[in-house]
Structure formats: structure tokens, C-alpha cells
Structure 1
């Protein structure tokens, strides 16, 4: 079987699978490597526009959320309804990731079930990859692959980054943990609704991030994240389950992993390797949203690698980061400021939730999330939000008009 490829994509999550599919569609020989034995802890939320942008079949949605409820340390809660401008689609990574990998195979990529164990540079400048097999039906196998280019889309603990970049080159992250539990058959609507995502801002749940309860139809993702060493995420998740009326529900699986929160300054090695998705740090600060940005990175990375292969210019690899930051750098910057300012204490979290009751804040939040860009058609709305933001920071009463 062929072992020489134009591109080896390491990691078959949303980023790597989309990259492999796009490259295969453009007649490049592609191998997609993934262990196929882990499920990333993830709330599973994608904006409705993702269905069109990445041609996602609607049957991949296990639920649609039409609202979010933000909850303060005091228990004060604000419900934010989306209205008729879209919805938050919910996917289950247990089925969504294999669906994307199958699409890549159908486009012509070869799928290798395994884990990257090593990379060496060959005499002709190509890359020799050692892949240890993870197929339970064929254990202990090792496969050697050769590729002109490598895309490292293998997550926050990227083996590609570790093997091909300096040790200090990695993004900051929080550690995320969640439990997938059965949704209640007859829930108490005051504490759990099937079409609503709950986001909990409470230092007892997370001293520097947040907790979540995201219904997935018959299942629910409940979890939290934190970068504070010693904070017990399992205990915090147990508390969240109590609050949401999920204590007695059967636990289906438990998962934990680091979650990067800042894009790296450089994604390529200047030659033949490009990082993408979580490996490059493209998870939104403040919100932790990653699936949409990962799939976008998959497309941008595929395009950059294709240009590099066509022109022989390694500088083409830099276009992936440049295009991503041109489109989303500003909103990542703003979300980073939000996290740095509002997540510092429970007092500030309380004010943040109060601010979310404002109609301008809700409208601009949903339009920016669903459209994946800052809303520019309403500058007065941004000005109103800016001054209300200052009022909340100063502890002054803000007009809700």
C-alpha cells in the first residue's frame, strides 16, 4: 500500500479531518493519522452558519439550543434568547469526529489508525514519520510514512509541535473536564431545559474560567475548566450536576484534556510543517469555543500547504495564520480582555452576569457569535455597551435602556 504522500495530516478531529478532505479534493495524495480511540471533552456547540460553511449534514446535530442562561455566584441568572437570527447546533464528538474522518476518506485521503511516534527529515527534504498502530484488531504494528508536508492538527498536547518546534513554543491553556450524562426524561424546567445552554460563572466551579451544562438531546455535557493547580474539576462538576438536577442520571463517559486559549505567534517551521487548530492555540478565549475555528483552520491550513506545494515557497505556510488572524484576531483579542477583566473575582463575575441582562449586550453577543465577526453595522450599540461596561466595572448603576 502506498506510503509516500504529498501531505500527512496528524490528528483527525474537526481541524485535521477538514484539512485532509480539502487537500484530497484538490487531487493531493493525503494520509490522515489519528488514534481513533479518544473523545475530546467538548461542549459540542457550533453556530448555525457552520452547517453551510463546512457542508455539515443536519443529521449530525443532536440538538439545537435557542438560548443561553448565564448564572452568577449568587445564583442570579440571566436568560439570553437568540430569537430568529439562528441557533446553536449541538454535536457529539463521539460521532461527529468519525463522520468528518469518513468524509476525508471518501474524498480520497487514506486513513491510518495510529499515533505519531517520530518524525525525521529525509535526504530529499521530505519527512519520514513513524506511526504506532492503535487498531485493537492489529495491535503492536508500526507503519512508516513519507510526506512532503505535515499538518499538525493533533490537539493541545501536539506531538508534531513537540517533535518539530522548540519546547517553549506552546500556547497557554486551561484544563477542561466534563461528564456526558443521560438527560432527565422529565426535567425541572426551572433548572434544566433541553434547548438552553447554561454557563456558570462562579469561583467555586472555576476560579478563572466557567462551568457549563449543555444538553445534547438524550445526553448532556456538564463540566468546567481551570488553569489553577489544585482546583478539583471533578468535585466542581459534581456540584454542577447537583444544581442542574443531574445527580441521579447515569454517567455515560468522563473526559479531560488541556484547552489552549491563545493563538501561537507562529504556526509553521519555515520549511514543511504547519500547526493548526488546538495545536496552534485557536480556541476562543473567554468562551472556549473551538470547533468552528478548528474547521476554519483546517481549510486555511490546507490552502496554505497546497500553495506551498505548488510554488515551492515555504513562506506560503504563513498565510494560514495571517488569514485566520485577519478574520478573527480582533475578536480573540476582545475575548481575551473579557476573560482577564471579568473572570478575576466573584464580585466581577456578578457584575458581568448583570451586564448580560442588557438587550444591547445580548443582541451584539449573539450576532457576533452566529456570524463569527464583530457587528459593525451598529456603532451606537457598541458605544452603549462600552459605557455600560465601564459602569459595571466601577460598580455604578447602568441604564438598561
Structure 2
């Protein structure tokens, strides 16, 4: 049976924060937008759910001051503490709040804004392949044709994979910069602060984040630097804070530190995790997802006027983000690169005590 070809101005593959943000902004400007996703929403999403100040401000400026309804914020606190293994190095207050959200609710709230703006949403629609010449997206149901395509389909992006196979993108160092994050929810103890733990893994850290009715405990580290030991390291971390390790962990990949040679092809744009836009040190992705979703929409609106390929406009908009992520990758390698753990501990002590405020500004801004 032949599949139906559905035509739109823009076809967006992936309806997480980056894709839904782009869809929301483009539909508001009158473009006919298809937003497709392999999942049915609302859906579960593994993530610490911590919003920094820059993320909070960006989201409010994009979706309005009324976006953060009371039930959307799970917890907020300016308290945090830093550990090296079991030893507490610092307990302090941030001048700016750390805000915690449940990604299931948060992502769905952005999607609802997109739907309210007139976006056509297709759930349970899995991208199989694309035709980069004719701008066709082949899925398990229909074929979508657009004048522009946005790839917001995450760390395992099918569209990015297609561009790599065609030699357009170079995936050098991609696997070397993949982080594996493991998380559990604990309903038996609560906390009122973010706790960060170094020393349990290489090129990564463990965390304990507060929520309304549960506590989120996780660890994230570069796979290439830990030789299959991350699961064992997570068990050791859990045991060190008095928790039993479950038989099954929630796990997901994060692209931390891979900088692509290109971020699209002509009128195809990559955003969020699909493009590798994640902080190489902290693993923060929400800010970059919303920001690059916003910039991809802006690039397309510019192309409607100046008739240049959207990739050209997009490249001009994301230059600062790319430069910033390259700098942070250098900082990551300096911070975690030493083989001597006592040096890392000593380095952390100096940084935290002498430059605490600058470090917090680095995270929040």
C-alpha cells in the first residue's frame, strides 16, 4: 500500500524541547509545521531536570511569564554541596535558585504551547530515512515533504546518521564524547539541596537532586574513559550514600563534547542533542535544546526573506554557542584529565573556595 505524502513548510523530527520550541515559534509566524515523534506524549524522559538561571529566563522569554505554572516546578532551592567521594568539600548557597522539573510534565507543557500555536502533531511516527535532495522524511506511517527539515530527534538521531552516511557530517570523536547517565528515583529519603559527588568515576560525577515526592540519584561519565565500569561505579556510589543498588537501572546517552563539522545541510538543520549541543562539563542540555530550537526557527524565518539556505543563517546564529562549547570542552579536559585523583581533589578545593561565585556564574549564565 502506497504511503501518503503530506506537504508542509517545515517538518520537525522530534518533539522534545528543541523541536517543540522551533515548532511553536514557526507556527506563530504563520508557517505550516509538522511535528513528528516516535512516542506518545506525555512520555517519560530520563533527566535530572535541573534548570539553571539562564534556562529559566530563556524559557520564560520564549513561552511567556505564565509558562511555569505552580505544578510544573517540582522543587526550587539555592542550597548545594560538593563532595569528593564521601568527604564533603563545600556546603553553600547560590545567589540564584536551582529549579527542578519533571521532564515528563515539562516537555509536555512545551508541546502544548506548540499545539496551541497551530502545529500539526504526529505521534507514534518513527523516522526511518530522509531524501536530502527532495526534502522528504520517510516514516513508519506517512511520507512528509517540507521546504525545510529540522532534526531534533536526539542523541540517536536518524537524520544525523543519514547525513554521516552520505559524508556530509563527520562523526570523528563522536563516540569518544558520549556520556552514559544512570539514574534511580528514591521515595524513602528527601533532601532540600543539590549534592554533587566527584571521585566515583572518571570524567563525570554523581548527583542527588530534590523533587516533590522523591529524590533523583544519578551518575554520568564518559564511556570512553571508564572502560565499561560505569554501572559498577554507580553501585559503589549508591552504597556510599546508604542506598541499595537496584537490579535494573534507568540509563541514557548524552553527547557531551562532540562538536560537528556542520550543523545541517542546506535546508536541513540539526538542533539540541541531535547536533551535540550539550555542556561538556555539567551535561546540561535543556538550555541548548531550547536555544538552538529558537535559533533554527529564526534561521528559517531569515531564509524566507533573504532566500539563503537555512544552514547559512543558522551558522551565523550559533557561532557563540559553538565557541562556548569548545571552550568548555577544554575546561573539562583540564579539570578531569589528570590521572592523579589527589590532584583533582586539591584542584577542586582551590576552585571552590577561591572562585565559588565565579563558578556559580559560569553554571547559571
Of residues 304, 308, 312, the one that matches 1:309 is 304
Distance 1:160 1:128 in 2: 11
Of residues 34, 38, 41, the one that matches 1:35 is 38
- Residue 57 in structure 1 maps to residue 68 in structure 2: yes
Distance 1:317 1:41 in 2: 30
Find the counterpart in structure 2 of residue 233 from structure 1: 230
Find the counterpart in structure 1 of residue 109 from structure 2: 99
Instruction: Sort the Cα spacing of 1:357 and 1:368 in 2 relative to 1 into closer, same or farther, 3 A.
Output: closer
* 1:58, distance to aligned residue in structure 2 (A): 4.1
Q: After superposition, where does 1:4-43 map in structure 2 within 5 Å?
A: 4-36=7-39, 39-43=44-48
- Residue 366 in structure 1 maps to residue 360 in structure 2: yes
Instruction: Sort the Cα spacing of 1:321 and 1:260 in 2 relative to 1 into closer, same or farther, 3 A.
Output: farther
* 1:104, distance to aligned residue in structure 2 (A): 1.0
TM-score normalised according to structure 1 size: 0.78
Please list the CA deviations of residues 138-164 of structure 1 after superposition, one character each: whole Å capped at 9, or x if unmatched: xxxx11211111011111221111113
Find the counterpart in structure 1 of residue 288 from structure 2: 293
Task: Give the SS at the match of 1:168.
Answer: coil
TM-score normalised according to structure 2 size: 0.85
* 1:330, distance to aligned residue in structure 2 (A): 4.9
Number of residues of Structure 1 aligned to a counterpart in Structure 2: 343
Unaligned residue ranges in structure 2 (runs of 5+): 61-66
Of residues 129, 132, 135, the one that matches 1:127 is 135
* 1:278, distance to aligned residue in structure 2 (A): 1.1
Distance 2:5 2:106 in 1: 28
Task: Give the SS at the match of 1:178.
Answer: strand
Instruction: Sort the Cα spacing of 1:335 and 1:94 in 2 relative to 1 into closer, same or farther, 3 A.
Output: same
Find the counterpart in structure 2 of residue 184 from structure 1: 188
- Mapped contact 1:22–1:302 kept (Cα < 8 A): yes
Find the counterpart in structure 1 of residue 317 from structure 2: 323
Distance 2:242 2:206 in 1: 15
Find the counterpart in structure 2 of residue 77 from structure 1: 89
Distance 2:45 2:178 in 1: 14
* 1:174, distance to aligned residue in structure 2 (A): 2.5
* 1:87, distance to aligned residue in structure 2 (A): 0.8
* 1:210, distance to aligned residue in structure 2 (A): 1.6
Find the counterpart in structure 1 of residue 333 from structure 2: 340
Find the counterpart in structure 1 of residue 264 from structure 2: 268
Distance 1:337 1:34 in 2: 34
Distance 2:251 2:122 in 1: 24
Instruction: Sort the Cα spacing of 1:259 and 1:127 in 2 relative to 1 into closer, same or farther, 3 A.
Output: same
Find the counterpart in structure 1 of residue 64 from structure 2: none
Find the counterpart in structure 2 of residue 138 from structure 1: none
Find the counterpart in structure 2 of residue 151 from structure 1: 150
- Residue 256 in structure 1 maps to residue 268 in structure 2: no
* 1:304, distance to aligned residue in structure 2 (A): 0.6
Distance 2:288 2:247 in 1: 29
* 1:273, distance to aligned residue in structure 2 (A): 0.6
Q: After superposition, where does 1:146-225 map in structure 2 within 5 Å?
A: 146-165=145-164, 166=167, 168-169=170-171, 171=174, 172-185=176-189, 187=190, 193-194=191-192, 196-202=193-199, 205-224=200-219, 225=221
Task: Give the SS at the match of 2:139.
Answer: strand
Of residues 226, 237, 242, the one that matches 2:239 is 242
Task: Give the SS at the match of 2:87.
Answer: coil
- Residue 44 in structure 1 maps to residue 49 in structure 2: yes
Unaligned residue ranges in structure 1 (runs of 5+): 133-141, 188-192, 373-401
Please list the CA deviations of residues 111-154 of structure 1 after superposition, one character each: whole Å capped at 9, or x if unmatched: 11111011125xxx54121112xxxxxxxxx1121111101111
What's the RMSD between the two structures over aligned residues?
2.6
Distance 2:114 2:269 in 1: 19
Instruction: Sort the Cα spacing of 1:300 and 1:251 in 2 relative to 1 into closer, same or farther, 3 A.
Output: farther
Distance 1:357 1:182 in 2: 29
- Mapped contact 2:257–2:325 kept (Cα < 8 A): no
